[in-house]
Amino acid sequence: MKYEGMIFRPPSEADSLILQVTVGCSYNRCTFCGAYQGKRFRIKSFEEIKEDIDQASPYKIRRVFLADGDALSIPQRGLLKILSYLKAELKGLERVGIYANAKDILRKEVEELKALKDLGLRILYLGLESGDPEVLKRIKKNATVDQLIRAGKRVKEAGIQLSVTVILGLGGVEGSQRHALETGKVLSEMDPDYVGALSLMIVPGTPIEKEIEAGRLVLPTPFGLIRELEIMVAHSKFTHCFFASNHASNYLPLRIQLPEEKEEALERIREVLRRKDPDLLRPEYLRAL
Ligand code: SF4
């Protein structure tokens, strides 16, 4: 496998073959994101991608994740070609996953997404980050709440599993409650199959670091972040969703099925908030991106 720069993948793709089909992120301007700093965006040539697939083909590979940041930005013809080749060469392939942003999704019709699904694209990871329009604007998300909801619904309509990421702490102390509340509401409208909640961690050199240094954004305390988690879970109305806050950035790891385990989870979160005992939290030295 020939990888360019650091490779990022969702936690649930830990056992997948990571196939780098694009380098970097075509947008690369979200103020909190340092993932692809310094990487110039490009779509790899089919020859480069084919070489990596050929190298992997003798092995039994069940899952593939297409990296980097927004591989769905590859034009439809290119994606169909990559997925067809993967399907033909990796005999045991069950699922292909991909990161996408709202605009990439909305550029595709449901039928086009279905065509990708038929060739193996089974899960799509979309960063919502916040359901609060003010936060989305401040972090330069490049998508409105309406676009994000429509994008999420379109993915589901195509029969592709939808996994949505949200970030605790993005509203700062001042906007904490609204951020959590609006995010809970927007998640409910999207009704994803999976939600991954991360806690904001400041990557050096990002614009959000400057906002914090200048005092324009004050981060919530660890218990403030857990309170956001409580609000989001309390306001969620899902059909069937696996909600996880077990990412290494979080202070309180949860893995719950919603709505089935909602009350149980809320009780646990509220108990932690009542006791405010730092020993109940993941220690700072174990937190990482
Ligand atoms: S959060 Fe996603 S869309 Fe935004 S810059 Fe990072 S990789 Fe690109």
pLDDT tens for 170-225 read 999 999 999 999 999 999 999 999 999 999 999 999 999 999 999 999 999 999 99
Triad 12, 17, 18: Cα angle to 5°: 85
pTM for the whole structure: 0.95
Q: Which of 29, 33, 124 to mutate to test the pocket of ligand 1 (most atoms within 8 A of CB)?
A: 33
- Ligand 1 is surrounded, with C-beta below 6 A, by 25, 27-30, 33, 35-36, 69-70, 101, 127
Triad 130, 207, 223: Cα angle to 5°: 50
250 pLDDT above the threshold of 90: no
Burial class (CB in 10 A: 0-12, 13-18, 19+), 54: exposed
**What pairing do the DSSP bridges indicate for beta strands 255-258 and 161-168?**
unpaired
Q: What is the mean pLDDT of residues 241-264?
A: 93
* Euclidean distance between CA atoms 98 and 69, whole angstroms: 9
pLDDT-derived band at 38, boundaries 50, 70, 90:
confident
239 pLDDT above the threshold of 60: yes
Residues 138-156: tens digit of each pLDDT: 999 999 999 999 999 999 9
Closest CA to 128 of 102, 154, 98, 150: 102
Q: Which of 20, 23, 28 to mutate to test the pocket of ligand 1 (most atoms within 8 A of CB)?
A: 28
Average pLDDT, the chain: 95
Beta-bridge partners for 199: 168
Q: Which two tokens stand for residue 109?
A: 């019709």
Residues 61-114: tens digit of each pLDDT: 999 999 998 899 999 999 999 999 999 999 999 999 999 999 999 999 999 999
What does the pLDDT read at residue 246? 81
* Euclidean distance between CA atoms 112 and 189, whole angstroms: 23
Which sign does the torsion angle of CA 288, 95, 155, 195 carry? negative
Strand, coil or helix: what is 211? Answer: helix
Q: Which two tokens stand for residue 50?
A: 């084919």
* Euclidean distance between CA atoms 77 and 3, whole angstroms: 23
* Euclidean distance between CA atoms 245 and 88, whole angstroms: 36
Does the N-terminal peptide bond of residue 68 adopt cis geometry, omega within 30 degrees of 0? Answer: yes
What does the pLDDT read at residue 236? 94
Tell me the CA–centroid distance for residue 38 and ligand 1, in Å: 13
Strand, coil or helix: what is 215? Answer: coil
286 pLDDT above the threshold of 80: no
289 pLDDT above the threshold of 60: no
Tell me the CA–centroid distance for residue 101 and ligand 1, in Å: 8
